[in-house]
Amino acid sequence: MNMQSGPADTAAEAIQVAPVDVRVEGVHVSYGEHHVLKDINLTIEPGEFFAFLGPSGCGKTTLLRLIAGFNTARSGRVLINGSDIGDLPPWKRNVGLVFQNYALWPHMTVRANLAFGLEERRLPRAEINRRVDAALALVGLSHLADRRPSQLSGGQQQRVALARTIVIEPKVLLLDEPLSNLDAKMRVQVRRELRDLQQRLGLTTIFVTHDQEEANAVCDRIAVMNDGVIQQVGTPMELYERPANLFVATFLGTANVLKGKVTGEGADRTFNIAGRGQIVIPPEAVVPADAQLVFRPQAASLGPASTEPSAGSIGGSIIRREFLGSFTRYGIEVGGTEIIIDEVFQNGVHLYELGDRVQVRLTEKATLWLA
Amino acid sequence: MTVALSEALPRRRGLGSPGPAVVAILIAVFLALFLIIPTASVVYVAFTERGTGAFTLVNIQDFFANDLFMRSLWNSFYVSTLTVVLASVFALPLAYITTRFDFRGSAIIQTLGFLPLIMPPFVGAVAMQLLFGRNGSINLLLYDWFGLRVPFMEGLNGVIFVQAIHYFPFILINLSAALRNIDRSMEEAAQNLGSSGIRLFRRIVFPLAMPGYIAGASLVFVKVFDDLATPLLLNVKDMLAPQAYLRVTSIGITDPMGYVIAVILIVVSVAAMWISALAFRGRDYATTQRGGGGLARRRMRPLEKLLAYAVVLVILALVLAPHVALTLLSFATIWSFSPLPDAFTTAHYERVFSDSFLYIKNTLLYASLAGVIDVVLGTAIAYLVLRTKLVGRQWLDWAATAALAVPGVVLGIGYLRTFYGVQLPNGAPLTSLWLVIVLALAIRRLPYALRACFAALQQISIALEEAAQNVGATPTRTVRRVVVPLMMGGILAGFVTSFATAAVELSAALMLVQTNSDAPLAYGLYVFMQSAAGRGPGAALGVIAVLLVAACTVLSQIIIARSQKNTGMSQ
């Protein structure tokens, strides 16, 4: 579909949504003894594209369904535009949920699927037709209005599901892994379209995914979840640059983690890696108890072992080498752990061989101490 | 004040509303009135002293002290067991040939194998006597050619023969399904480890197919054990179900022996179903994987092919025999001591359509009503069980399914007993209403309709309903606009099945029909068949019944295929 075309713009005007904020306050959800969500607190700004990101079973879909009204919280509140929606049944909440498997009604045409929610609101037929046409134009499917869902491709079904949700002019748009049933190429295309659509409508949107790349590419902010707890909330770059803990650091991108002990006090703190060297901890750094040393593969450089051992480097030996064109990825054994270092390829610079002893020099600013 | 009031209201949690609970209670009351209380009253009478209501085993002792009853009990077991054996003899080769070989005849077997199911055994019983009886066509020919007679239809043999021909498809279907569900890799793994031939069959194929066979066999056993109509039409009276019927109709509703027999019928039904359930417990033997497919099929050698065709032809001839005989009889002027009728006439059909059209009209009315009751209850119970969290919802399913274990005779006796004293405003007893027949038919067919509704609802993803609620539909509206339309194929199929089987049900009707003008087709057929002169019109009624059921069966297949196509759920 072409989102830039004229008719779609007019269509966007026919669908009127006001940006509202969503607040989740102290929410606990449990199934019997199993606690699925623990003390969730979140504020999603009006018009924001927000992601719940985490591995399967982390509670992200539960939280999304809680906002839609399909789960109940043991305690806590969900507020949309300042009003508590906890007492409203799903059909009175006006939050649009796009289901992972689209959940298109197979016995209705595309048009009937879109009209359904408006018919339930007892809108006049003319108004229903106008809004359905607009929503179809918005997702570029006007020509398929009389098809049945089973006659559409996966990507088209996904757009119908989106249009069916948007046509009711929801306060908030909830997307439950909307890209997971598409092939890799479609996924990239559709996520751009989603972002464009969201921007043009100005609709507060929550996107559930387990794919960090997806979340990074489209979302303004991300809540990283694990084990029913929100680990960190921030923009994609904040999360990558300053992860709050080990889970966030390792879940978003590749991170090296080295165990060690902190010795000394105040300005004299050092981080000792069992027999492999020590790193001076900058005085301003915050180091939690039982911290581990964390750095990205590109946040260090390699030097030959013969160089003078310095305070900011660790000794190790090359056990793996993958030449990937623009850079080379080395696996280096350090005190029983493998760490990964990416070295940018430069003409004339020789590569290390397996078995070479090397010094890993950390970039001080990009070094983290996390628990 | 208003604030305080709104705070005093209970906090709404989830989808809680009184609607489902009210529906559940109404269904529970219906099942209690027309299934549980009548059945319980039968058991109660069997174990209590007449008049005082004190617990006693005297009735049971009387039963076991009576030679006629003991002979009937033995005969019922004997007939049921031998029917299973004979039905297995028919079913095993067909199942084996169709699942193990690339055989052109497989499709014919699969289709014609179902043919007996559209005609209940009692319908063709009398006609079979004319074909296989002592002076029937086959024996006359055999005597002419070889000077011998085979007692196909003598006494209990007749019941066994007719029942086996009609019920072997249950074994065929279950066994074929079990064989088809065995993945080729099971067999190949055994071959790879050095097993082959008979040993492979005995150690791998046979054990894997066993639950399917037992399920089919126990179903046949129960059907035969409970059947009242076939023995009655073949004039076999010393079996349990006919004895129960005769005691209640000749001695009266207060005689305890009928109730004792009813209890025995229930116990045997439950035991057979229990055995069938045991066979499946912890043995989910469906081993086919995606892209798999059943056991390896191989081509037949010419001699094998000849043999296979011979077997198939003989069995198919037997399968078609009741249909052929019934059709001949319905067009025959006189058919006695000759291989074929003397001449043909349409007089019987004319008579049926002019004098006895009432039977057909009643049948259409009763069966439609029973079908409607069944799908309404079935849909409601399926929804309550699968989609709500009502406490005790599972009990509705269990109670409705328990009707499987209540033979028609027993339900009939139970209704007579329970509603005996209940009088209508005009003073007539409640049981004189034809509606009672409809209720009995509905209860008897409910388990099947319920399964159809369950299957239909299970195919619908819950997300489809959540999507409807998400865009603003209340649960009631969701049921109307999403659930029921999507279930419609299954509901219609359930209706047609209930209709078709209720249209030819006789056991309960025999007990409950009070006046001839309220009688359904099956009852009319029974009445006609009592006299030699009535056989022609009786057979004509039988043919009409068979055509009705066949049309329904075809219709239900078309409905299912179309609804799957329409809703895109065909894959």
Q: Nearest-CA distance from B399 to chain A in Å?
A: 29
CA distances from A89 to A12, A200, B15, B38 (A): 28, 29, 7, 42
Given B461, B463, B471, which is nearest A168 (Cβ)? B471
Question: Cβ–Cβ of B471/A116 closer than 8 Å?
Answer: yes
B468 at interface of A, judged by CB pairs closer than 8 A:
yes
Looking at residue A174, its pLDDT comes to 94
Given B466, B472, B567, which is nearest A120 (Cβ)? B472
Look at chain B and report how many structural domains it folds into: 2
| Confidence check: pLDDT of B296 > 80 | no
* Residues of chain B with C-beta less than 8 angstroms from the C-beta of A176: none
**What is the pLDDT averaged over residues B67-90?**
93
Question: Cβ–Cβ of B469/A99 closer than 8 Å?
Answer: no
Residues ≥6 apart with Cβ < 8 Å to A133: A11, A14, A142
B432 plus B497 within the same structural domain: yes
Question: Cβ–Cβ of B569/A168 closer than 8 Å?
Answer: no
* Residues of chain A with C-beta less than 8 angstroms from the C-beta of B473: 91, 116-117, 120
Looking at residue B282, its pLDDT comes to 57
B273 plus B297 within the same structural domain: yes
Looking at residue A310, its pLDDT comes to 62
Q: Nearest-CA distance from B570 to chain A in Å?
A: 10
Residues ≥6 apart with Cβ < 8 Å to B171: B84, B87, B88, B91, B92, B95, B213, B216, B217, B220
Going across the sheet that includes A327-334, the strands are A300-304, A357-362, A313-323, A327-334, A337-344
φ/ψ of residue A282, rounded to 5: -60, 145
Quote the CA–CA distance of B39 and B399 in Å, as a whole number: 12
B522 found inside a domain: yes
Task: Report domain extents, chain A.
Answer: 6-245, 256-370
- pLDDT above 90 covers what percent of chain B? 22
Looking at residue A206, its pLDDT comes to 95
| Confidence check: pLDDT of B181 > 50 | yes
Average pLDDT by stretches of 10, chain A with 371 residues = 51 78 94 89 95 93 92 91 90 91 89 93 93 92 92 91 93 92 87 90 93 91 95 94 91 87 80 75 81 88 70 82 90 86 86 88 83 81
| Confidence check: pLDDT of B13 > 60 | no
B310 plus B367 within the same structural domain: no
**What is the pLDDT averaged over residues B530-552?**
86
B292 plus B160 within the same structural domain: yes
Given B13, B464, B472, which is nearest A105 (Cβ)? B464
> Which A residues, 312 through 351, put their C-beta within 8 Å of a C-beta on chain B?
none
- pLDDT above 70 covers what percent of chain B? 92
Final residue of a domain: which of B328, B345, B362?
Answer: B345
Looking at residue B85, its pLDDT comes to 95
Quote the CA–CA distance of A296 and A327 in Å, as a whole number: 14
A178 at interface of B, judged by CB pairs closer than 8 A:
no
B295 plus B429 within the same structural domain: no
HSE of A34 in the Cβ direction (CA atoms, 13 Å)?
A: 7
- In this prediction the ipTM stands at 0.79
pLDDT bracket for residue B8 (50, 70, 90): very low
pLDDT bracket for residue B16 (50, 70, 90): low
| Confidence check: pLDDT of B471 > 80 | yes
| Confidence check: pLDDT of B376 > 50 | yes
Question: Cβ–Cβ of A116/B481 closer than 8 Å?
Answer: yes
B82 plus B211 within the same structural domain: yes
| Confidence check: pLDDT of B78 > 50 | yes
Q: Of all helices (H) and strands (E), which one includes residue A296?
A: none
B481 at interface of A, judged by CB pairs closer than 8 A:
yes
| Confidence check: pLDDT of B10 > 70 | no
B187 found inside a domain: yes
**What is the pLDDT averaged over residues B534-546?**
87
The length of chain B, given as a count of residues:
571
Q: Which two tokens stand for residue B429?
A: 């007893």
Nearest residue to B409 (alpha-carbon basis) of B507, B301, B489: B507
Strands A172-176 and A34-44, sheet pairing: unpaired
Q: Nearest-CA distance from A196 to chain B in Å?
A: 23
Where are the strands (E) in B124-171, listed by range? none
* Residues of chain B with C-beta less than 8 angstroms from the C-beta of A70: 466, 469
In chain B, helix, strand, coil percent, each to 5?
75, 0, 25
B322 plus B372 within the same structural domain: no
B102 plus B218 within the same structural domain: yes
**HEC string of A117-151?**
HHHHCCCCHHHHHHHHHHHHHHCCCHHHCCCCHHH
Three-state DSSP class for residue A317? strand
B442 found inside a domain: yes
* Residues of chain A with C-beta less than 8 angstroms from the C-beta of B475: 91
Looking at residue B293, its pLDDT comes to 55
Quote the CA–CA distance of B256 and B248 in Å, as a whole number: 9
Question: Cβ–Cβ of B567/A106 closer than 8 Å?
Answer: yes
Three-state DSSP class for residue A48? coil
Domain that holds residue B426: 31-39+346-571
Looking at residue A309, its pLDDT comes to 55
B476 at interface of A, judged by CB pairs closer than 8 A:
no
CATH 1.20.1070.10 holds for A256-370: no
Quote the CA–CA distance of B56 and A203 in Å, as a whole number: 76
Quote the CA–CA distance of B382 and B452 in Å, as a whole number: 9
* Residues of chain B with C-beta less than 8 angstroms from the C-beta of A164: 467, 471
* Residues of chain B with C-beta less than 8 angstroms from the C-beta of A72: 13-14
pLDDT bracket for residue B5 (50, 70, 90): very low
B471 found inside a domain: yes
Burial B115-134 (b: 16+ CB within 10 A, else e): bbbbbbbbbbbbbbbbbbbe
Looking at residue A61, its pLDDT comes to 92
B329 plus B377 within the same structural domain: no
Residue of B471, B478, B563 to mutate when probing chain A, most A C-beta within 10 A = B471
Residue of chain A with shortest Cα separation from B481: A116
**What is the pLDDT averaged over residues B279-304?**
63
Question: Cβ–Cβ of B12/A101 closer than 8 Å?
Answer: no
Quote the CA–CA distance of B462 and A306 in Å, as a whole number: 66
Looking at residue B2, its pLDDT comes to 37
| Confidence check: pLDDT of B560 > 80 | no
Quote the CA–CA distance of A332 and B75 in Å, as a whole number: 85
Residue of chain B with shortest Cα separation from A88: B12
Torsion of CA B68, B73, B75, B81, to 10 degrees: 180
B6 found inside a domain: no
B364 plus B291 within the same structural domain: no
B144 found inside a domain: no
Question: Cβ–Cβ of B14/A72 closer than 8 Å?
Answer: yes
| Confidence check: pLDDT of B14 > 60 | no
Question: Cβ–Cβ of B471/A165 closer than 8 Å?
Answer: yes
| Confidence check: pLDDT of B571 > 50 | no
What CATH code is assigned to A6-245?
Answer: 3.40.50.300
The CATH number for B376's domain is: 1.10.3720.10
A106 at interface of B, judged by CB pairs closer than 8 A:
yes
Final residue of a domain: which of B312, B345, B378?
Answer: B345
B318 plus B390 within the same structural domain: no
Looking at residue A87, its pLDDT comes to 87
* Residues of chain B with C-beta less than 8 angstroms from the C-beta of A151: 568
B563 found inside a domain: yes
> Across A117-131, B100-114, B182-196, which has the greatest mean pLDDT?
A117-131
A158 vs B10, residue with greater confidence: A158
Final residue of a domain: which of B294, B327, B345?
Answer: B345
pLDDT bracket for residue B6 (50, 70, 90): very low
DSSP secondary structure, B7-45, as one string: HHSPPP-TT--HHHHHHHHHHHHHHIIIIIHHHHHHHHH
A105 at interface of B, judged by CB pairs closer than 8 A:
yes
User: Which of A161-165, A288-292, B188-192, B461-465 has the lowest average pLDDT?
Assistant: B188-192
Residue of A66, A104, A107 to mutate when probing chain B, most B C-beta within 10 A = A107
CA distances from A153 to A101, A141, A156, A214, B565 (A): 13, 12, 5, 21, 17
**Mean per-residue pLDDT of chain B:** 83
Task: Say if CB B528 and CB B537 are below 8 A apart.
Answer: yes
B368 at interface of A, judged by CB pairs closer than 8 A:
no
Residue of B470, B476, B491 to mutate when probing chain A, most A C-beta within 10 A = B470
B397 plus B535 within the same structural domain: yes
Question: Cβ–Cβ of A164/B467 closer than 8 Å?
Answer: yes
Q: Nearest-CA distance from A47 to chain B in Å?
A: 20
Quote the CA–CA distance of B521 and B508 in Å, as a whole number: 13
| Confidence check: pLDDT of B290 > 60 | no
B491 found inside a domain: yes
B567 at interface of A, judged by CB pairs closer than 8 A:
yes
* Residues of chain A with C-beta less than 8 angstroms from the C-beta of B12: 87, 89
